[in-house]
Structure 1
Amino acid sequence: MYLIAKLLLVVSLLAVVGCSTTRPSNPNNLCDIFDDKPSWYKDSKKAEKRWGSSVPVMMSIMYQESQFKHNARTPRTKILWVIPGPRKSDAYGYPQAKDNVWNEYQDQSGNGWSRRDNFADAIDFIGWYNKQSQKRSGIGLNDSYNLYLAYHEGHGGYNRATYRQKNWLMNTASKVESRAQQYQAQLQTCEERFKGSWWWPF
């Protein structure tokens, strides 16, 4: 009975850690992120296995969209320069997904109870979206530059090359690409210790 109680306590503590909404202390280092939040590694690898896009690519997109803030929203507009008005977009959560795209993800992925402020759901969404970018726009699953352009513009916009009129967006996509490469190099130095954790499910 003592052993069972102890195991239940450990599981409860892990659940609390997994549901934590605090941001990683060092979002510039993927090893530090997963040290802070070990469950994020597990969730990211599940999404990688399911959809084929690599952990560094998906995490780089999430960083760019929300800096890992679970309840991130777009700023409010201003009425008469002072009064808070409606938000510029209904994008929300870790992936900054809009309502209509999130609803499409829920319908197609089988993850109907998913939430944008839940990391596991959010990283799965990014993996799913990247898979749609491969299907609809012919983008490689680890082509972080073009995946981000499609993520931002939508597949119709990407296919029409609307991003070519937005130098700031192409610059941002380059930052996503650089961060994905940085994350990849970092993960190669530390991934074995996460794979060796007793809770690793694969």
Structure 2
Amino acid sequence: MFSIRILRLLVVASICGLLIGCASRPLSNKEDVCAIFNDKPHWYQAAKRSTERWGGPIHVPMAIIYQESTFTADAKPKMQYFLGIIPTGRPSDAYGYAQALKSTWREYEIAVGSRSPDRDDFSDAVDFVLWYMNVTYQRNGVSKWDAYGHYLNYHEGQGGYSRGSHLSKQWLLNTAKRVDTRAKKFATQLSQCRAELDSKKRGWF
């Protein structure tokens, strides 16, 4: 009886260790979307499900998430300092892969129903970005393949974008151009590995 109990504990401990190892394994190459999805097959499945749910491509939300957090689960805005030494807090409560604000995340929670999504969970984060892109498309008519326009909406909000708040921010326009360039690179990469990704059986992780 004692040995069986020990065996069960060892099995549970092994499974937990495997789960933790898979969750914390770093990406081998954040510049290559095929490498990202090969490292994290469940990310591809999550992104694919969300594109089927909200419409649009995979490469645009991936480029936005890269810009916002470089695929870091617990990313936060940098701490600000007074006189360079006294911390005064962060500029916003943005958090997670998508750097979503609490208020916008709450809108997403209401939109998707009673589930409890987490900002530091990639599946929820990519779904959030695609949901936001769908809202942007409905409100401002931005094509879901237009990474440049979607990043401007993502940063300024749909209302700010419609008022042209981005037009006076050259740094933001430059950032949106970088997001657009990365999205196009991701699209090219994904075209070369998507068939292989689709052929893989969906596993536990």
- Taking structure 1 as the reference length, what is the TM-score of the superposition? 0.88
1:99-122 superposed Cα distances (whole Å, 9 cap, x missing partner): 100000000122630000000000
Paired with 2:121 and 2:69, the residues of 1 have a C-alpha distance of 13
RMSD: 2.2
The answer on 1:79 being equivalent to 2:82 is: yes
> How do 1:143-182 and structure 2 match up within 5 A?
143-182=146-185
Counterpart of 1:51 in structure 2 is 54
1:117-174 superposed Cα distances (whole Å, 9 cap, x missing partner): 0000000000000000001111111111100000000011000011100011111111
Any conservation in 2 of the 1:24–1:36 contact (CA below 8 Å)?
Answer: yes
Paired with 1:22 and 1:173, the residues of 2 have a C-alpha distance of 29
Paired with 1:18 and 1:95, the residues of 2 have a C-alpha distance of 23
Distance 1:145-1:16 versus aligned 2 partners, 3 A rule? same
Distance 1:167-1:18 versus aligned 2 partners, 3 A rule? farther
Any conservation in 2 of the 1:71–1:92 contact (CA below 8 Å)?
Answer: yes
Distance 1:21-1:136 versus aligned 2 partners, 3 A rule? farther
Paired with 2:51 and 2:86, the residues of 1 have a C-alpha distance of 43
Counterpart of 1:184 in structure 2 is 187
The answer on 1:37 being equivalent to 2:40 is: yes
> How do 1:108-123 and structure 2 match up within 5 A?
108-110=111-113, 112-123=115-126
* Rg larger in structure: 2
Deviation at 1:199, TM superposition (A): 1.5
Deviation at 1:194, TM superposition (A): 1.1
The answer on 1:129 being equivalent to 2:132 is: yes
- Taking structure 2 as the reference length, what is the TM-score of the superposition? 0.87
Counterpart of 2:100 in structure 1 is 97
Any conservation in 1 of the 2:42–2:202 contact (CA below 8 Å)?
Answer: no
Secondary structure of residue in 2 paired with 1:78? strand
Deviation at 1:91, TM superposition (A): 0.4
Any conservation in 2 of the 1:21–1:69 contact (CA below 8 Å)?
Answer: no
Secondary structure of residue in 2 paired with 1:164? coil
Counterpart of 1:66 in structure 2 is 69
Any conservation in 2 of the 1:18–1:37 contact (CA below 8 Å)?
Answer: no
1:168-193 superposed Cα distances (whole Å, 9 cap, x missing partner): 11111111111111001001111111
Any conservation in 1 of the 2:77–2:94 contact (CA below 8 Å)?
Answer: yes
Higher relative contact order (CA 8 A, sep 6+): 2
* Structure 2 unpaired stretches of 5+: 1-10
